[in-house]
Chains A and B, each alone.
Chain A
């Protein structure tokens, strides 16, 4: 589904990604871990098409198409979904109207008719239950006045509504208490199937207790320095990131 080869990207002249290689197939969950500043969120942003980042090398192929050539909205319409680390507030635009607009844009791009109000509401009811989202939040302005946990749940709710092929969860666990973490993870697990794939970007192993990855990759200084099965995450939790840093030639103050 997704094939990243030698991807390099910079922001304001500073290189953040220095050659990323990653293959993601349908039905898989990949975890990207790494210390702060290793380029995890940059990778997520570049995949989603954020323009502040300049891609300076490499390629990204998604469903056989050159992803980097596509505008952000076209990537979304093709099924790329980013769950934001910091979901954005849009005052005056109700959550429900926002989602309906998004859903219909995606449908229109595929030559489908806009969803009927009845079907839409049925889907809202069903999918909001998945992340135990308070019904009141659906009619409030997008993310405005939401707590940190509500914002993250709202991201997963949107993901459930839009049914993406490739979901990138950018630090979705940050700022969540254990109950919220469980709810969010539960939502992600239920949405998983043989045709979609998920990339979970996280700093902590904690989330991976609930979302079991097929592969774990460690990102450091803009490169994937180690990949392995889910046990790698446990190892990281135990030893911390210093071990990775030392292995890659950095002196670590003890």
Chain B
């Protein structure tokens, strides 16, 4: 596709975080703090079966024994986990049957986000599920998907309607005890998206979820579960925004992908949580666990464009369990101002002839710190496993940092592992060259950065690639000079 830097300019005039509005809707809030009775309350509010409550309580028990991970290259005051609301739901009539029943204020929010549900429905053919604070509020296109046997709904609904699928797969890729944030999420998650693609079905449209934190002092803990049955295909996209707040908001999601034999899952993320102000006040703490398991001949492809959050701690990973499984990770992580990102992937090769590709493009500006952290592990039985990793860093100015932490563990001598890394700076020469051709500095930077990130942006579905380009340009506003 063509990358038109010129389409960006109109969007670029808006210097500040443009999604920083608060929607004035009544919320149903749980009291501040976390204990077993809050978890019971959440479970009860959601009318959950007994096994799920037990699962949550067990997770809570595990979490209490765990400590926050310290190894990431990030610095921040530890959140006080007793100071959050663990449940916040926009108050509205139960289970809206159509858009008419959804709170009009909420619909306005979607408009501001640029996702008019109606328009989305008609024009783009993208099915959208929207999660505000903790609750999924609208899922479009459900009926059309149902004809193909595709289930795309909120997680809560899946618990009610398809409990056997949820119970079979929940926690199988990211166990409750996996890490501190995954355990916390398992105890208190409130909603998220659920998707099941039946055998041999190619999902005809992009499935998309928008996450938004609205209520102050809430933590958002979504749980996403995507199951692609044998020989099926799905492309899934999530977008994220949050209002500007002085306090830090906590976001700790868990995403589990299951690609059964011959299936393919493309999972794309455009993350634009509020990054905090120039002094680093506010912003979202984003501690996310994303992992997929690939059975025989299946493919999982993660594409992420990360421009937001004060702190990003995120490693979308693939467990290549089956033979001939393929794992891919394409990432652009941009940090500006005082943002910190520690992000990368894990490719765990277990099956024979498994293949993985990692393309990571870090962009650091302002006083930010940007780290790539990736593990490539080739197990004993992974005959002829192959990995290719490329980690590039682009620096702007002289007060930011770029760091690369690659870990390679090989237990099978037939493995081929390649790692390439480069670090470059946007040169004044390049900018002047653009200026001399009539292109101003802001646009020159967006042209250069988009050129640098093109390999990854190309992996996004068309309309989101355009959105991602704009985001990169906006996020770099005023970073040079």
A residues touching B (Cβ–Cβ < 8 Å)?
48-51, 71-73, 75-77, 81-82, 84, 87-94, 97-106, 109, 114, 141, 158, 162
User: Which residues of B sit under 8 angstroms from A94, Cβ to Cβ?
Assistant: 3, 451
B439 in the interface, Cβ–Cβ < 8 Å? yes
Mark each residue of chain B from 427 to 443: 1 if its CB lies under 8 Å from any CB of chain A, else 0: 10110111111111101
B322 in the interface, Cβ–Cβ < 8 Å? no
B residues touching A (Cβ–Cβ < 8 Å)?
2-6, 427, 429-430, 432-441, 443, 447-448, 450-455
Q: A91 and B452 in contact (CB under 8 A), knowing A97-B2, A101-B443? A: yes
Q: How many Å from the CB of A65 to the closest CB on chain B? A: 16
Bound-complex Cα distance A90 to B453 (A): 13
Task: Pick the residue among A88, A109, A158 that contacts B430 (CB under 8 A).
Answer: A88
Task: Pick the residue among B429, B450, B452 that contacts A88 (CB under 8 A).
Answer: B429
When the two chains form their complex, are residues B6 and A72 in contact, meaning their CB atoms are under 8 A apart?
A: no
Task: Pick the residue among B2, B432, B434 that contacts A50 (CB under 8 A).
Answer: B432
User: Which residues of B sit under 8 angstroms from A51, Cβ to Cβ?
Assistant: 432
When the two chains form their complex, are residues A77 and B438 in contact, meaning their CB atoms are under 8 A apart?
A: yes
When the two chains form their complex, are residues A72 and B432 in contact, meaning their CB atoms are under 8 A apart?
A: yes
User: Which residues of B sit under 8 angstroms from A104, Cβ to Cβ?
Assistant: 6
When the two chains form their complex, are residues B451 and A91 in contact, meaning their CB atoms are under 8 A apart?
A: yes
User: Which residues of A sit under 8 angstroms from B433, Cβ to Cβ?
Assistant: 84, 87-88, 90
Closest Cβ neighbor of A99 among chain B residues: B437
When the two chains form their complex, are residues B436 and A82 in contact, meaning their CB atoms are under 8 A apart?
A: yes
Bound-complex Cα distance A84 to B450 (A): 24
Closest Cβ neighbor of B426 among chain A residues: A90
User: Which residues of A sit under 8 angstroms from B427, Cβ to Cβ?
Assistant: 88
Task: Pick the residue among B429, B437, B440, B452 that contacts A92 (CB under 8 A).
Answer: B452
Q: What are 7 sample pairs from A and B whose C-beta atoms fall under 8 A apart? A: A71-B435, A88-B427, A90-B430, A93-B450, A101-B5, A102-B437, A105-B6
When the two chains form their complex, are residues A101 and B6 in contact, meaning their CB atoms are under 8 A apart?
A: yes
When the two chains form their complex, are residues B452 and A100 in contact, meaning their CB atoms are under 8 A apart?
A: no
Among A50, A71, A101, A106, which residue has the most Cβ atoms of chain B within 10 A? A101
Closest Cβ neighbor of B429 among chain A residues: A88
Task: Pick the residue among A109, A114, A141 that contacts B438 (CB under 8 A).
Answer: A109
Task: Pick the residue among B429, B435, B450 that contacts A49 (CB under 8 A).
Answer: B435
When the two chains form their complex, are residues B451 and A73 in contact, meaning their CB atoms are under 8 A apart?
A: no
When the two chains form their complex, are residues B437 and A90 in contact, meaning their CB atoms are under 8 A apart?
A: no
Closest Cβ neighbor of B452 among chain A residues: A92
Among A48, A88, A89, A109, which residue has the most Cβ atoms of chain B within 10 A? A88
